[in-house]
Amino acid sequence: MSTTRTTTKPRKRTPKAKAPSGQETVHGQRVTFGVDRPLRLDCGIDLSPLTIAYETYGTLDADKANVVLVCHALTGDQYAASVHPATGKPGWWDRMVGPGKPIDTERFFVICANVLGGCMGTTGPASENPETGKPYGLSFPVVTVRDMVRAQAMLLDHLQIETLFAVAGGSMGGMQVLQWASDYPERVFAAMPIATAARHTAQNIGFHEVGRQAVMADPDWCRGDYHAKGKRPTKGLAVARMAAHITYLSEEALHRKFGRRLQDRDALAFGFDADFQVESYLRHQGMTFVERFDANSYLYLTRAMDYFDLAADHGGVLANAFAGTHTRFCIVSFTSDWLFPTEVNRAVVHALNAAGARVSFVEVETDSGHDSFLLDEPELETALRGFLDSAARARGLQPAGAA
């Protein structure tokens, strides 16, 4: 194992203004598997038909050896490096995916699929139930992270891609990376789980339950049947997003961004409007979130994260999940991430060491919290670029621009 600790000084975060320019980006791709290709879920139900929506970036080489699968987090989607159709904003990982970037689309063919249970084209609770002709709502079966990965494997089989050069993702995306490396070790050459864990803690389950209860307490939720009734539980979902967003940051980041500064006023209003900038910020986060996300999907995906426990599936011993693996790993954590702190990432490293795996560990020192993997963290970019370059040389992949 090699361990690296890097330091990032606090800085202002400036979002990129221009849209990404991924080479040969193809938008709006979907594949539907019919009743003859059901997906057996962990809950015992065969799900069909199944639609998977995905985006691709870059060019697939002749040997199909340059494929990188990017797995998105809870509130992400397939638009990792392309303009989001609902918001018009650049992709959530535009910093990492694109020409000349760490996941270089002049070198790699990148696939990002909307997860099972999502709300951006992949089958989920807002999809039509073929038995009723109406949205599934709560009749949609509960899914797991393993189910998400099985669906992605079906997509790769459809694309006739047998192996992945690398799988990468943060948070819930990192859970998918670990599941991929455990369930399909022969298909994964390199794995980059970032700011994640091998199981959810009781505290994280508790945070998710608060969010779910906020959604379900909204009268417009209608016991999950709001689509059929022409309503949307926007208030409950916005509160869930506000509460969750606090966990994605750190106390230092909140203080640096807002402190106790007032919002558009010089004195306290002595009421319950947004007196403080942090209140206004969280309200904005909540209201913009409901414009692009489905409330029931939020329930299902948070539950999938809660159920994730890789060791439990292997006799309670995490190392058993990676027994005999030949996959190369780069584990990344952030010092200010209290949602998935360094110690839970390090537990994965210890398990991989026990399994005899090739693993590097990078702890990035930053005050930006859990969301650091989505922000401008040069040391993270350097670490992932170096890991991918090393793995590519070991794999025999040609550098970008080679004939």
Q: Tell me 39's DSSP state.
A: E
Q: Is 370 a catalytic residue?
A: yes
Percent helix, percent strand, percent coil in the chain, to nearest 5: 35, 20, 45
Q: Is 12 left (phi over 0), alpha (psi -120 to 50) or beta?
A: beta
Structure tokens at 284: 């904005």
Q: How far is it, in rounded angstroms, from Cα 189 to Cα 167?
A: 8
Question: Which is catalytic among the residues 227, 370, 371, 372?
Answer: 370
Q: Tell me 229's DSSP state.
A: T
Q: How far is it, in rounded angstroms, from Cα 280 to Cα 262?
A: 9
Given a contact cutoff of 8 angstroms between Cβ atoms, the answer to whether 72 and 173 are in contact is yes
Structure tokens at 230: 């022409």
Structure tokens at 334: 């952030």
Q: Is 337 a catalytic residue?
A: yes
Let me know how long the chain is: 403
Question: Which is catalytic among the residues 306, 337, 367, 371?
Answer: 337
Question: Which is catalytic among the residues 72, 94, 127, 171?
Answer: 171
For 307-375, the DSSP string reads: H-BTTGGGTT-GGGGGTT---EEEEEEETT-SSS-HHHHHHHHHHHHHTT-EEEEEEEE-SS-GGGGGS
Structure tokens at 399: 């550098």
Q: Return the number of other C-beta atoms located less than 10 Å from residue 271's C-beta.
A: 7
Structure tokens at 168: 């990468």
Active site residues: 171, 337, 370
